[in-house]
């Protein structure tokens, strides 16, 4: 009896302490960040002086391991030097000082914008940081972005006519709350997505009306969003990977220039592509089924 009680007590003790013994101690955020930094530095140093020099240039420009490691993670076989070159390839972050940024200029989005501007990717485009104090059209855009939980818009891609603003057609709006929500390299992709909308607007001044009709996103909007996110994949909302792969599978590489023209917002090319797809497709639904907006 006594032995049985002792055994039961031991079992109880083991069961009570089991979760404590098996759970790993939580890693403080600062430690995790420090470890990432050290890992990235070692990774760069292992590849010699050139990579190390690039690494220290990145540090001086205020980039951290969090900006660097996703590149390594995306292609583990790539050398540190290639990944570092890719980051530096978007342009010197200290350059692009003449880029037009309306709002604080030290945020991640502003740094990403200036680096793209220095590389010539933001010609004629202005970055507008919005706050809750904005009124009129800017205030409307701010509230819409906050309500829809979107980080950025050019206006017409949300059905908003921006012709009255001085930045038209090259406006990219970002709410102040979001400027540091993602890393500099994350913002580079989002800004490239928005710059494609600016190009679509330049080819189609009716874009705001073509994107939203009777309060609903159109098929044209679903198509243009997939194009804007093609290869960037900033959000799963637009199914860019699946939709663009299906489109190219059906129309073939011989029609790639037509796809590119339609993606730049050209309405006539869009209608031609849509008719061509519907003529060629034999199963799985037509163009309008493929690009039905789901957001």
β-bridge pairing 126-130 and 171-175: parallel
243 close to 292: Cβ distance less than 8 angstroms:
no
**CA 294 centroid distance within chain:** 18
Within 10 Å of residue 182's Cβ, how many Cβ atoms?
A: 18
Segment contacting Zn ion by CB under 5 A, of 131-139, 143-151, 164-172, 226-234: 226-234
Place of tokens 């009777």: 214
Q: How far is the CB of 37 from Zn ion (least distance, A)?
A: 33
**Span 120-159, contacts to Zn ion by CB under 5 A:** 157
Q: Least distance to Zn ion from the beta carbon of 184, Å? A: 20
What's the min distance (Å) between Cβ of 144 and Zn ion?
Answer: 14
CA distance 121 to 284: 37
Q: Which of residues 33-72 bind Zn ion (CB under 5 A)?
A: none
Taking the C-alpha atoms of residue 38 and residue 41, their distance in angstroms, rounded to an integer, is: 5
Q: How far is the CB of 93 from Zn ion (least distance, A)?
A: 25
Of 184, 228, 259, 281, the residue at the interface with Zn ion (CB under 5 A) is: 228
Nearer to Zn ion, 117 or 228 (CB): 228
For 220, other C-beta atoms within 10 Å of its C-beta total 24
- Of 188 and 228, which has the nearer Cβ to Zn ion? 228
Least distance CB 142 / Zn ion (angstroms): 17
Q: How far apart are CA 184 and CA 166, in angstroms?
A: 27
* H helices, E strands: number in the chain: 14, 5
221 binds Zn ion, rule: CB under 5 A: no
The residue among 43 and 270 lying less far from Zn ion, judged by its C-beta, is 270
Nearest distance from C-beta of residue 228 to Zn ion, angstroms: 5
Q: How far is the CB of 197 from Zn ion (least distance, A)?
A: 6
Q: Does residue 224 belong to the site contacting Zn ion (CB under 5 A)?
A: no
Write the DSSP assignment of 86-112 as a string of letters: HHHTT--TTS-TTS-EES-SSSHHHHH
* Binding status of residue 250 toward Zn ion by CB under 5 A: no
- Tokens 């404590």 — which residue? 20
Q: Which is nearer to Zn ion, 195 or 228 (CB)?
A: 228
For the chain, first and last CA: distance in Å?
A: 67
User: Is the CB of 111 or the CB of 151 nearer to Zn ion?
Assistant: 151
| Contact footprint for Zn ion (CB under 5 A) | 157, 225, 228
């Amino acid at each position: 009896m006594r032995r049985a009680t002792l055994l039961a007590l031991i079992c109880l003790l083991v069961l009570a302490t089991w979760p404590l013994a098996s759970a790993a101690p939580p890693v403080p955020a600062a430690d995790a960040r420090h470890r990432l930094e050290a890992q990235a530095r070692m990774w760069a140093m292992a590849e010699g002086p050139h990579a190390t020099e690039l690494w220290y240039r990145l540090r001086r420009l205020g980039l951290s391991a969090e900006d660097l490691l996703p590149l390594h993670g995306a292609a583990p076989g790539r050398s540190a030097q290639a990944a570092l070159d890719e980051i530096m390839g978007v342009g010197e972050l200290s350059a692009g000082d003449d880029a037009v940024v309306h709002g604080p200029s030290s945020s991640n989005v502003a740094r990403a914008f200036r680096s793209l501007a220095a590389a010539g990717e933001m010609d004629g485009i202005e970055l507008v940081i919005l706050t809750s104090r904005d009124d009129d059209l800017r205030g409307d855009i701010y509230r819409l972005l906050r309500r829809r939980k979107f980080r950025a818009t050019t206006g017409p891609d949300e059905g908003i006519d921006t012709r009255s603003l001085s930045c038209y057609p090259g406006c990219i709006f970002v709410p102040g709350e979001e400027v540091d929500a993602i890393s500099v390299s994350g913002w580079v992709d989002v800004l490239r997505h928005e710059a494609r909308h600016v190009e679509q607007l330049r080819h189609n001044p009716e874009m705001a009306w073509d994107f939203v009709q009777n309060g609903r996103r159109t098929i044209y909007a679903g198509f243009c969003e997939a194009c804007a996110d093609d290869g960037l994949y900033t959000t799963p909302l637009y199914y860019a990977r699946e939709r663009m792969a299906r489109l190219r599978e059906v129309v073939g590489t011989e029609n790639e220039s037509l796809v590119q023209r339609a993606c730049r917002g050209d309405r006539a090319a869009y209608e031609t592509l849509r008719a061509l797809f519907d003529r060629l497709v034999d199963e799985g639904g037509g163009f309008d089924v493929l690009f039905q907006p789901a957001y």
